[in-house]
Amino acid sequence: MIRAEHLHKNFDDFAALSDMTINVKSGSVYGLIGVNGSGKTTALKTITGIIRPDGGEVDFDGEPVYENLKVKQRMGFIPDDLHFFGSYTLKDSAQFYKRLFLRWDNGRYREMLELFALPESKRLSRFSKGMLKQAAFILTMATKPDYLILDEPIDGLDPIVRKLVWKYIMADVAEREMSVLVSSHNLREMEGVCDTVGIVDKGRIVLERDLDELRSDIHKVQAAWSKPADSEVIGNDSDLKILRREKSGAVEHLIIRANRDLLETKIGELQPLVFDLLPLSLEEIFIYELGGERDALKQLLF
């Protein structure tokens, strides 16, 4: 389990993190989501022990992370801004990782090298950005980490490589109960892999929910009413929180936060002419759940 509680970090007068708390369960994938500049990268570098927080605590299964070699032996971190020794080949880097990480699995390294089809003897300085991300992933996963922290892991990768990356991650989550913390601004990618999501805005967590729970209490409704006044009846119902409503002819479209059974009962009692519950994407859920708190968050819908 990865636990970060009440993290604060200032750079001069800028508050990069503000009372941020994140808990990643063993064997789960936690998606840290936010627009560029929201604090995701600072959060990950603080959680991995690269940056020391001004306040708050970080521990991995009860062990503090900062300057703790024992914890970092069990951690894999792939940042968005990758750095390798320019003169090294992938083979050289594998030997370097092998000396650093006690769990290095050479069989897995060879297997992944073949699947990803990277040139082992080519200098990394001549790799494209996408190739460097693949190289970092191969090296990191060959260390068989208990904790995997990823910053925008699939940017620049083609769809086939993305599937390979997530295949290995999800296999380790299922088989070894690896804990994964992944940051992204791409909600579509996160929707299929995360158990829990937290959205970051201005260095703080503004919403943190299990995905199943999140989907169970926010709904898109399409309805046409028998009587015009029924629309006002729904709008004034204190048990139903209407986050958005639009009308197109006789049909009204509403985003409502409520228990599904209660919602169906309340609307059913009015005997509408049309009543459909439509699926919401994770992108839509976040935007409507936040209620348009900030215009920048609309960037998440793309």
Residue limits of CATH 3.40.50.300 in the chain? 2-210
Question: Which string of DSSP letters, residue by residue, matches 221-247?
Answer: EEEE-SSTHHHHHHHT-TTSEEEEEEE
22 near 48, Cβ under 8 Å?
Answer: no
pLDDT for residue 289: 61
Amino acid at 175: E
- The Cα 266–Cα 263 span in angstroms is 5
Are residues 103 and 63 in contact, defined by beta-carbon separation less than 8 angstroms?
Answer: no
- pTM attached to this predicted model: 0.85
**Residue extent(s) of CATH 3.30.70.250 domains in the chain:** 217-300
Give me the tens of pLDDT residue by residue for the chain, a chain 302 residues long. 999 999 999 999 999 999 999 999 999 999 998 878 889 999 999 999 999 999 999 999 999 999 999 999 999 999 988 888 878 999 999 999 999 999 999 999 999 999 999 999 999 999 998 999 999 999 999 999 999 999 988 887 888 999 999 999 999 999 999 999 999 877 888 888 999 999 888 899 988 888 888 777 888 999 999 888 888 899 899 889 888 888 888 899 998 888 889 999 999 999 999 999 987 887 887 777 655 544 444 444 43
Closest CA to 228 of 212, 208, 211, 249: 249
Task: Kindly indicate whether the domain formed by 2-210 is annotated with CATH number 2.60.120.10.
Answer: no
Specify the CATH number of the domain 217-300.
3.30.70.250
